[in-house]
């Protein structure tokens, strides 16, 4: 078996003082206290469980356990009711009181479980401990469960008193049938001062700064008092939204939390909301709870071969005063929007804590080796108030992406996990829980969280309260230049599900993205509008003349070439150096191949000798500009030096096939002697040229292929060039 731990160490924590806000109850004080009735009523002692056997079992289970919780309490079975136990005491003119004290030696706390629970309208039930500092109730007919199964919270110590008041105007009898008591023998703490808790010292309260941006998610998370057969545990979890947005009381936790619980057990689970400190490092001032649930779907393998999810529906309605939130979800297998986030949980059953991660969730096969990964792995980060992690009792708690959507529920980590040696945490993926643990609705989240099969992959959360959306947005800048891109950020709330943007004067001019971008090409002032939709309605906003687009300066066309004098057949690389950021280019290359181009930096081949013009037209949204460089490219010149004097010349094409052009620096008006010799010094031609002008055509087409020297002589000045004749 794998050596890991399910983070499931349990600790029940209740609050001292009278009439604390707990299960759906109505406050008040027990009538025996108000009327100072004598403590003359039946006290029953039940036999203590065999603690040696229980401890031996725990040693085995705690040493090497798979996906299973750590036990903190066991059942003591009984059969007590208002007819076979307890004492009735009359209160003249008002009604009567039934009281019963139950004691089980050395219990740290006692929880009362009922196989039949019914209170008539007008009746009130209270529970309290021996010193009467902890009082639960009043429970009334509004607490009557549909299945008649009920449970009340743990009462500190080894004695618990039940007190039922029946007004004399009520004839209908109550049914208070106690079938068992939960005997808590470890992992239970009734200390409420800071620093004396079961949770480890590094845990961070949700009231600290780390929780500031997660208030809705905090409202959805809760702890669970779990009954499985004759054993008791703590877990964590969260209310979760569905695509109908109908505020159905679906609650997600871990399958190993539910274990083998049957329908009767589930009807006696207790869900605690708002059990948290009011200030960072403070103590809790109250909580709200609901009793009972029904199973909808689960991973039947309890993480051995799946994602360890467990979905229930809490019985009845949750009072508005609880101010709960149904958390949204992200069922993708993509960590793009999970670069950072939090886990919210009740470690060791303690007040609500928050843990932060700042590196992306990683897909992991660690837990059961299934390809593709059933779990997310994360590492906890240091934050302002420390490095909060996970602990026993955190199991089933949600992990959120950066947009506050559940991506999974906690399975566990390494046995070495501690504040000084934090373990990675492993959360069963919502992606896998959606439809990959099995093929029936009882093994999938899909049919419950998307009942109309919409295919939605990311759903925002929703408050218990009907709240219409408020549309709002901002842009990264409102002053742009033609061609600039504007990025928009949606700032609407709460729970936005759909966006419809309109951008006057832009492309694209519409979007359904949450945070879109668009490009502005025209100048002027432009409106932007946004319509948003949440589960409760829609809202629109328009910001008039919100975007100002200024004229873009037209380009100043400029270019260079890597070389301007080449031989025929060589290639030149041209570079655009235009100012003001042109967006398109048109080149013309006289004598080039190709003769034109729309590339920014083209490469052009020149196959024929000559002096060629180059033209560039550069364009942007502000306009166009052109530049022509005449005779910029020289092809086939011999040498690249400046002409030394009036009789100096260039020859092209060179090499040539017979016809060569001699180009002088200026018109030659004096007689000029021209001589052509071969490489052996043999004079091939000699002639005197008069009124020559600037160019002269030398025809050597009848000569043999080879190299020749062309010499010009004027007085005592002469110039010699070498030409190649190719046939």
The DSSP code for 368 is T
Sign of the dihedral through C-alpha 185, 398, 436, 446? positive
Active site residue 395: yes
Structural domain includes residue 78: yes
Are 686 and 602 contained in the same domain? no
* DSSP annotation string for 581-638: --SEEEEEETTEESSEE-SSS-EEEE-S-EEEEEEEEEEETTEEEEEEEEEEEEES-S
Show the low-confidence residues of the chain (pLDDT under 50).
Answer: 1-22, 192-196, 638-641
* Number of separate domains in the chain: 5
Are 61 and 116 contained in the same domain? yes
Are 97 and 224 contained in the same domain? no
Are 480 and 452 contained in the same domain? no
State the residue for tokens 């649930």: 293
Q: Which residues pair with 428 in a beta bridge?
A: 375, 409
Structural domain includes residue 388: yes
Structural domain includes residue 50: yes
Which of 500, 521, 549 is a domain's end point? 549
Are 251 and 301 contained in the same domain? yes
Active site residue 308: yes
Structural domain includes residue 74: yes
CATH code of residue 670: 2.60.40.3080
* DSSP annotation string for 673-704: EEEEEETT--EEEEEEE-S-EEEEEEE-TTSP
Are 505 and 570 contained in the same domain? no
The rounded distance, in Å, linking the Cα atoms of 407 and 239 is 13
The rounded distance, in Å, linking the Cα atoms of 446 and 428 is 15
103 φ, ψ to 5°?
A: -125, 135
Q: Which residues pair with 524 in a beta bridge?
A: 549
33 φ, ψ to 5°?
A: -80, -40
Identify whether the C-beta of residue 230 lies closer than 8 Å to the C-beta of residue 182. no
Are 534 and 564 contained in the same domain? no
Are 63 and 115 contained in the same domain? yes
Active site residue 256: yes
Beta strands at 479-481 and 537-550: parallel, antiparallel or unpaired = parallel
pLDDT of residue 67: 58
Cis peptide upstream of residue 419 (ω within 30 degrees of 0): no
The rounded distance, in Å, linking the Cα atoms of 397 and 1 is 24
Choosing from 177, 189, 256, 576, the catalytic residue is 256
The rounded distance, in Å, linking the Cα atoms of 535 and 540 is 15
Which of 517, 549, 581 is a domain's end point? 549
Identify whether the C-beta of residue 136 lies closer than 8 Å to the C-beta of residue 287. no
Nearest Cα neighbor of 412 from 431, 425, 402 is 425
Identify whether the C-beta of residue 592 lies closer than 8 Å to the C-beta of residue 523. no
Identify whether the C-beta of residue 367 lies closer than 8 Å to the C-beta of residue 411. yes
Distance, CA of 563 to chain centre:
54
Which of 523, 549, 575 is a domain's end point? 549
CB count in 10 Å sphere of residue 573: 12
Task: Name the burial class of residue 138, with classes exposed (0-12), middle (13-18) and buried (19+) by CB atoms within 10 angstroms of its CB.
Answer: buried
pLDDT of residue 24: 58
pLDDT of residue 17: 35
Are 568 and 715 contained in the same domain? no
Structural domain includes residue 8: no
Sign of the dihedral through C-alpha 287, 269, 237, 434? negative
Task: Name the burial class of residue 699, with classes exposed (0-12), middle (13-18) and buried (19+) by CB atoms within 10 angstroms of its CB.
Answer: exposed
Are 131 and 48 contained in the same domain? yes
Task: Name the burial class of residue 416, with classes exposed (0-12), middle (13-18) and buried (19+) by CB atoms within 10 angstroms of its CB.
Answer: exposed
Structural domain includes residue 49: yes
Per DSSP, the three-state class of 161 is strand
Cis peptide upstream of residue 719 (ω within 30 degrees of 0): no
Identify whether the C-beta of residue 175 lies closer than 8 Å to the C-beta of residue 84. no
The DSSP code for 352 is -
Q: What contacts 325, CB < 8 A, 6 or more positions away?
A: 216, 217, 218, 219, 220, 239, 461, 462, 463, 464
CATH code of residue 37: 2.60.120.290
Structural domain includes residue 9: no
Residue 508 sits in which domain range?
473-549
Are 253 and 390 contained in the same domain? yes
pLDDT of residue 199: 84
CATH code of residue 286: 2.40.10.10
Three-state SS annotation for 189-239? CCCCCCCCCCCCCCCCECCCHHHHHHHHHHHHEEEEEEEECCEEEEEEEEE
Are 626 and 492 contained in the same domain? no
User: What are 334's two structure tokens?
Assistant: 């993509």
Distances (CA, A) of 662 to 395, 611, 722: 94, 13, 12
The rounded distance, in Å, linking the Cα atoms of 276 and 278 is 6
The rounded distance, in Å, linking the Cα atoms of 343 and 231 is 27
Structural domain includes residue 643: no
Distance, CA of 373 to chain centre:
18
Beta strands at 706-714 and 672-678: parallel, antiparallel or unpaired = antiparallel
Choosing from 299, 308, 450, 576, the catalytic residue is 308
CATH code of residue 612: 2.60.40.10
505-541, pLDDT tens digit by residue? 999 999 999 999 999 999 999 999 999 999 999 999 9
533-592, pLDDT tens digit by residue? 999 999 999 999 999 999 999 999 999 999 998 888 999 999 999 999 999 999 999 999
CB count in 10 Å sphere of residue 569: 13
Per DSSP, the three-state class of 566 is strand
């Amino acid at each position: 078996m794998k050596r890991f731990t399910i983070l499931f160490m349990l600790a029940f924590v209740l609050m001292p003082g009278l009439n604390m806000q707990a299960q759906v109850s109505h406050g008040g004080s027990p009538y025996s206290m108000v009327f100072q009735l004598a403590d003359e009523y039946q006290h029953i002692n039940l036999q203590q469980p065999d603690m040696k056997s229980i401890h031996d079992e725990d040693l085995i289970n705690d040493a090497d356990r798979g996906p299973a919780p750590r036990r903190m309490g066991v059942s003591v079975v009984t059969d007590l009711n208002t007819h076979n136990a307890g004492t009735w005491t009359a209160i003249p003119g008002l009604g009567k009181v039934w009281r019963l004290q139950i004691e089980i030696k050395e219990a740290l706390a006692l929880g009362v479980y009922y196989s039949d629970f019914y209170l008539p309208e007008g009746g009130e039930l209270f529970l309290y401990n021996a010193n009467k500092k902890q009082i639960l109730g009043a429970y009334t007919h509004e607490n009557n469960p549909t299945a008649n199964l009920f449970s009340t919270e743990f009462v500190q110590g080894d004695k618990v008193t039940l007190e039922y008041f029946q007004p004399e105007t009520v004839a209908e009898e109550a049914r208070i049938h106690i079938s068992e008591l939960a005997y808590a023998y470890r992992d239970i703490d009734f200390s409420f001062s800071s620093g004396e808790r079961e949770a480890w010292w590094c845990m961070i309260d949700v009231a600290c700064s780390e929780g500031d941006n997660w208030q809705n998610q905090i409202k959805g998370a809760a702890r669970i008092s779990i009954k499985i057969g004759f054993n008791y545990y703590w877990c964590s979890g969260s209310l979760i939204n569905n695509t109908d947005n109908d505020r159905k009381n679906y609650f997600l936790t871990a399958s190993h939390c539910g274990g083998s619980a049957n329908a009767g057990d589930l009807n006696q689970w207790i869900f605690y909301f708002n059990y948290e400190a009011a200030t960072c490092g403070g103590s809790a001032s109250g909580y709200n709870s609901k009793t009972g649930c029904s199973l909808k779907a689960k991973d039947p393998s309890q993480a051995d071969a799946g994602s360890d999810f467990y979905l229930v529906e809490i019985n009845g309605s949750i009072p508005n005063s609880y101010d709960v939130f149904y958390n949204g979800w992200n069922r993708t297998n993509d960590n793009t929007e999970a670069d950072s986030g939090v886990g919210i949980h009740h470690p060791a059953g303690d007040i609500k804590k928050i843990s932060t991660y700042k590196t992306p969730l990683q897909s992991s096969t660690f837990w059961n080796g299934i390809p593709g990964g059933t779990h997310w792995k994360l590492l906890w980060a240091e934050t302002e108030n420390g490095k909060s992690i996970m602990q026993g009792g955190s199991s089933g708690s949600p992990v959120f992406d950066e947009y506050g959507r559940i991506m999974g529920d906690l399975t566990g980590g390494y046995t070495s996990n501690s504040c000084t040696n934090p373990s990675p945490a492993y959360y069963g993926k919502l992606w896998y829980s959606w439809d990959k643990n099995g093929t029936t609705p009882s093994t999938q989240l899909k049919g419950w969280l998307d009942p109309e099969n919409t295919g939605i992959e990311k759903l925002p959360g929703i408050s218990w309260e009907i709240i219409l959306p408020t549309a709002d947005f901002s842009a990264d800048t409102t002053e742009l230049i033609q061609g600039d891109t504007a990025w928009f950020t949606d700032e609407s709330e709460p729970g936005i599900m759909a966006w419809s943007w309109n951008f006057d004067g832009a492309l694209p001019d519409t979007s359904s993205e949450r945070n879109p971008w668009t490009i502005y090409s025209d100048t002027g002032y432009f409106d932007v509008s946004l319509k948003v939709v949440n589960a409760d309605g829609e809202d629109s906003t328009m910001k008039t003349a919100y975007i100002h687009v200024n004229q873009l300066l037209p380009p100043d066309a400029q270019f260079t070439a890597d070389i301007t004098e080449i031989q025929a057949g060589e290639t030149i690389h041209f570079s655009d150096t235009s100012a003001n950021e042109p967006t398109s280019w048109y080149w013309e290359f006289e004598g080039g191949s190709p003769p034109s181009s729309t590339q920014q930096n083209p490469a052009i081949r020149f196959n024929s000798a000559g002096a060629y013009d180059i033209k560039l037209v550069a364009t942007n949204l502000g306009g166009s500009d052109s530049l022509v460089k005449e005779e910029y490219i020289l092809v086939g010149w011999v040498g690249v030096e400046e002409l030394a004097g009036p009789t100096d010349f260039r020859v092209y094409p060179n090499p040539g096939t017979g016809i060569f052009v001699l180009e002088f620096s200026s018109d030659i008006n004096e007689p000029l002697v021209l001589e052509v010799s071969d490489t052996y010094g043999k004079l091939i031609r000699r002639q005197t040229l008069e009124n020559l002008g600037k160019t002269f055509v030398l025809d050597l087409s009848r000569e043999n292929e080879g190299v020749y020297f062309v010499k010009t002589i004027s007085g005592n000045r002469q110039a010699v060039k070498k030409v190649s004749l190719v046939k």
